[in-house]
Structure formats: structure tokens, C-alpha cells
């Protein structure tokens, strides 16, 4: 098949959506399909900044949420143009839209559209502070979700809660395909730990917790900092390394200074996904401390999957799809979200008993190969595309 993957967001970019697209493309191509990607990044930069982002910033100054909704609609318009251009040059069998506004853009063609739902557009906007709960803008986003997912031929969701959400809001029964990773790229490289620590300037004797998350509220990135003092008391050479950017960066730095652990924290900022495996390898433990925020739950976390695939012991919070991924005590550890004491206890446990961590990591890697391979996921996507063609 000739498949067009499309999104009104940037690609390639930091974050789970971009990783999903890259990995899905690889899996589908391994099955002999021809796959292209079109995204907001393909819009000329002057237009992205001057026509879409600039006015949105000013509108948000007038009223919170107004610019956010406005920019999504402008992105839809720009992407609709790009999709039409792509379709005019190649006869695609299916367009896989990665968000609701891309769905609207793709529906302007005669090509069958399948929509993948990665989260809760409205509630995530509320969680980030982009829109106000109960506002006309929030209601407009909710209506867009209802309309878009009813209009597409097939809906794919990345976890069961999103599937239930779509069914409740639209009456549409989606196809749940959990997130997945490239199991060939994310594989154990622990034997190269010393090499990677030298490369990135970390001491060989440090005990490193790696947090591969955007620095945003729902990702719970404040909690490793809150938990760190108890860990440092027992292990003064413990370090938490954050890979990501976001609105929580300054509050996190302030809290670390307040707690006296600034010297035990490294904020890398944006890290290219192509080298992320090396950071997993240099770490002793990976942390995915997601929390509930404005009704938003973590889906099938790609970061958690990559950590397990890389053969690193994982500590995660028991929210959303993380509860489906991790069998606590067997292939990782789950702690109560926002529970500082439980998180610090789990961190200390794996430092005190590295052999136990190795057992968890080995079982985690085996689970990833069996259940979360991009090859297996691509086969499932292919089946949904074929189902859509029969409508």
C-alpha cells in the first residue's frame, strides 16, 4: 500500500508523537509498504511563524485559549493544502491522521482516512493551561473531537482508556493498538555504560536516574526532585538526569535549590531521539513519574517502553497505560502517583539491590520483544488500513 502519515504538529520533533511516526513508518516499510509523512514542519517557516504562531500569541493575550484554538484551525488549513499537493502527486491508498485537526484536513480529499488518537485533546489543553475548563474554547475542542472521530473510517487508540473515552464521547468503537518501539534501536547496551558516561561527561561512580520526559506538569517531573533528598542522604553520589524541555523547568530548578539538591540534578534540555538509547545505557535506573492532571492520564508511555527495551530497570507511577505496561515487582516497579516517600523508597531499593534491578530489566526487555515490537504493531495497523478500504 501507499500510506500517508500526517499531523498538524511538527515532525521530526521531540516527544512521543514524533517517535510514534518514525517507528510506525519503519515497521510498515519493513512489511513492504510505501510510507510518506507530511507535517506542519513542511509549511514554510515564515508562514509557520508569521501567519500561524504569531497571531495565536496575540489572541491568547486577549483571552486564554482563543489563540490555541485559532492556531489549530490554521494548522489544519495549511496541512490540508499540503495533503492535497501530496495526493495530486501520488495515489495513496490511505491517510493515517495523527490528530483530530489533521483528520479534518485529510477528509478534504477522496482518500480513505484512518485516525490515530494519542490522547485527550481538550483535557490535555486544560492540563497545560492552554484553554480554560468549561470555556467556549474548550467546548469547541470537544465538539471537534466528536465530529472528527465520527467522520473518519476507522479510529485507532493507543490504550484502552482512550478507546473508552472515544466510545463515550462519540459512540465510535475504536481499535486499540498499544504504543510500540523500534526493538532493534532500543536494545540493551549496558556494557557500553562507561563509554557513554565519558562521552556525556558523567562520573563513573555516579548512580544515575534518567527521566526521559518533557518538563510538563502531567509528566510528574517535580517528584524525582522532591524524592531526591532522602536518596542523597543514603547515596550522596545519586544524580537525576532530565531529558526534555517545558514550562516546569524553572519551578524544578527552584525546588532543587530549596531542597539543597541542585548539585545532584542535571537538566539536559532537548535530546535528539537518535541518541536517547545512549542515555538509557548510561543510567542505573529510568524514572517515568507521570501523574493525573486535569483528567489526563499517561497513555502507553513510549518512554517507559524504551527504558524497558533498553534493558534498564524502570520505576513508574501507577497511572493510565503505565499500569498495563508494568507488572510491578516482575518487570519494573510501580509507585503511587505523587507519593514522594514511595518514589524515594523505590529509588533507594534499586540502588541497594542492583541485582534485583537487573532481574526486573531482563524481564522488561523480554516483555517488550514479545508485546511491543514495531514489527507486530505495523501488522496490526496494516489490518486496520485494509478494514478501512472495505468501507
CB count in 10 Å sphere of residue 196: 19
Q: What is the DSSP letter of 129?
A: T
Among candidates 130, 69, 92, which has minimal Cα distance to 6?
A: 92
Are the C-beta atoms of residues 219 and 289 closer than 8 Å to each other? yes
Burial status of residue 332 (CB atoms within 10 A of its CB: 0-12, 13-18, 19 or more): buried
Mean pLDDT of the chain: 93
Strands, DSSP E only, in the chain? 2-7, 34-39, 94-97, 113-117, 154-157, 175-176, 207-211, 238-242, 265-267, 285-288, 314-317, 333-335
Q: What is the pLDDT of residue 62?
A: 81
- Residues 321-365: tens digit of each pLDDT: 888 889 999 999 999 999 999 999 999 999 999 999 999 999 999
CB count in 10 Å sphere of residue 47: 12
In whole angstroms, what is the distance from residue 149 CA to residue 202 CA? 47
**Domain residue ranges in the chain:** 2-180+373-389, 190-371
| DSSP helix/strand/coil, 150 | helix
Does an H or E element contain 79, and which?
Answer: helix 66-89
User: Which fold is adopted by the domain 2-180+373-389?
Assistant: Rossmann fold (3.40.50)
- Exposure string (b/e) for 9-29, b if CB count within 10 Å is 16 or more? bbbebbbbbbbbbbbbbbbbe
In whole angstroms, what is the distance from residue 387 CA to residue 311 CA? 36
Q: What is the pTM of this model?
A: 0.75
- Residues 253-288: tens digit of each pLDDT: 999 999 999 999 999 999 988 899 999 999 999 999
State the DSSP string of 311-376: T--EEEES-TTHHHH--BTTTBEEE-TT-HHHHHHHHHHHHH-HHHHHHHHHHHHHHHHHH-BHHH
pLDDT band at 300 (very low <50, low <70, confident <90, very high): low
The set of cell numbers assigned to 25 is 513508518
In whole angstroms, what is the distance from residue 74 CA to residue 42 CA? 14
Are the C-beta atoms of residues 154 and 175 closer than 8 Å to each other? yes
* Bridge partners, residue 97, by sequence: 6, 115
Among candidates 391, 343, 387, 390, which has minimal Cα distance to 156?
A: 387
CB count in 10 Å sphere of residue 292: 16
- Residues 69-106: tens digit of each pLDDT: 889 999 999 999 999 999 999 999 999 999 999 999 99
| Sheet (strand 175-176) strand order | 34-39, 2-7, 94-97, 113-117, 154-157, 175-176
In whole angstroms, what is the distance from residue 224 CA to residue 201 CA? 21
Inter-CA distances, 5 with 30, 101, 103, 104, 347, Å:
16, 13, 11, 14, 39
User: Which fold is adopted by the domain 190-371?
Assistant: Rossmann fold (3.40.50)
- Residues 120-167: tens digit of each pLDDT: 888 888 877 888 989 999 899 999 999 999 999 999 998 888 999 999
Check if 2-180+373-389 and 190-371 are the same fold: yes
Q: What is the pLDDT of residue 324?
A: 84
The predicted model gives 112-117 an average pLDDT of 97
In whole angstroms, what is the distance from residue 243 CA to residue 345 CA? 23
Are the C-beta atoms of residues 121 and 141 closer than 8 Å to each other? yes
pLDDT band at 4 (very low <50, low <70, confident <90, very high): very high
- Residues 207-261: tens digit of each pLDDT: 999 999 989 888 999 999 999 999 999 999 999 999 999 999 999 999 999 999 9
| DSSP helix/strand/coil, 6 | strand
Amino acid at each position: 500500500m501507499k500510506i500517508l502519515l500526517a499531523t498538524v504538529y511538527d515532525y521530526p520533533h521531540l516527544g512521543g508523537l514524533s517517535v510514534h511516526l518514525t517507528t510506525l513508518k519503519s515497521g510498515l516499510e519493513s512489511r513492504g509498504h510505501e510510507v510518506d509523512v507530511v507535517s506542519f514542519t513542511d509549511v514554510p517557516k515564515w508562514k509557520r511563524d508569521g501567519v500561524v504562531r504569531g497571531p495565536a500569541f496575540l489572541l491568547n493575550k486577549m483571552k486564554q485559549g482563543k489563540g490555541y484554538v485559532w492556531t489549530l484551525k490554521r494548522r489544519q488549513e495549511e496541512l490540508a493544502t499540503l495533503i492535497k499537493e501530496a495526493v495530486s502527486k501520488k495515489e495513496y491508498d490511505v491517510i493515517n491522521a495523527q490528530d483530530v485537526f489533521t483528520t479534518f484536513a485529510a477528509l478534504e480529499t477522496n482518500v480513505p482516512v484512518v485516525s490515530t488518537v494519542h490522547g485527550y485533546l481538550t483535557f490535555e489543553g486544560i492540563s497545560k493551561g492552554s484553554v480554560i475548563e468549561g470555556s467556549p474554547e474548550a467546548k469547541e475542542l470537544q465538539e471537534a473531537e466528536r465530529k472528527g472521530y465520527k467522520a473518519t473510517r476507522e479510529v485507532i487508540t493507543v490504550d484502552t482508556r482512550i478507546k473508552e473515552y472515544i466510545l463515550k464521547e462519540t459512540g465510535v468503537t475504536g481499535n486499540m493498538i498499544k504504543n510500540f518501539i523500534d526493538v532493534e534501536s532500543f536494545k540493551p547496551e549496558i556494557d557500553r555504560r562507561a563509554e557513554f558516561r565519558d562521552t556525556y561527561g558523567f562520573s563513573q561512580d555516579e548512580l544515575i536516574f534518567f527521566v526521559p520526559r518533557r518538563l510538563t506538569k502531567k509528566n510528574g517531573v517535580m517528584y524525582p526532585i522532591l524524592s531526591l533528598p532522602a536518596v542523597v542522604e543514603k547515596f550522596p553520589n545519586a544524580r537525576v538526569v532530565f531529558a526534555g524541555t517545558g514550562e516546569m523547568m524553572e519551578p524544578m530548578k527552584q525546588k532543587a535549590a530549596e531542597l539543597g539538591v541542585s548539585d545532584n540534578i542535571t537538566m539536559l534540555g532537548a535530546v535528539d531521539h537518535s541518541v536517547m538509547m545512549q542515555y538509557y545505557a548510561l543510567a542505573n535506573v529510568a524514572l517515568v513519574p507521570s501523574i493525573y492532571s486535569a483528567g489526563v492520564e499517561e497513555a502507553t508511555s513510549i518512554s517507559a517502553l524504551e527504558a524497558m527495551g533498553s534493558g534498564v530497570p524502570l520505576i513508574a507511577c501507577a497511572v493510565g497505560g503505565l499500569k498495563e505496561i508494568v507488572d510491578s515487582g516482575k518487570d519494573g516497579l510501580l509507585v503511587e502517583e505523587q507519593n514522594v516517600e514511595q518514589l524515594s523508597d523505590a529509588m533507594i531499593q534499586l540502588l541497594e539491590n542492583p541485582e534485583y534491578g537487573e532481574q526486573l530489566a531482563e524481564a522488561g526487555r523480554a516483555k517488550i520483544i514479545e508485546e511491543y515490537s514495531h514489527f507486530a504493531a505495523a501488522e496490526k495497523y496494516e489490518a486496520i488500513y485494509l478494514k478501512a478500504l472495505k468501507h
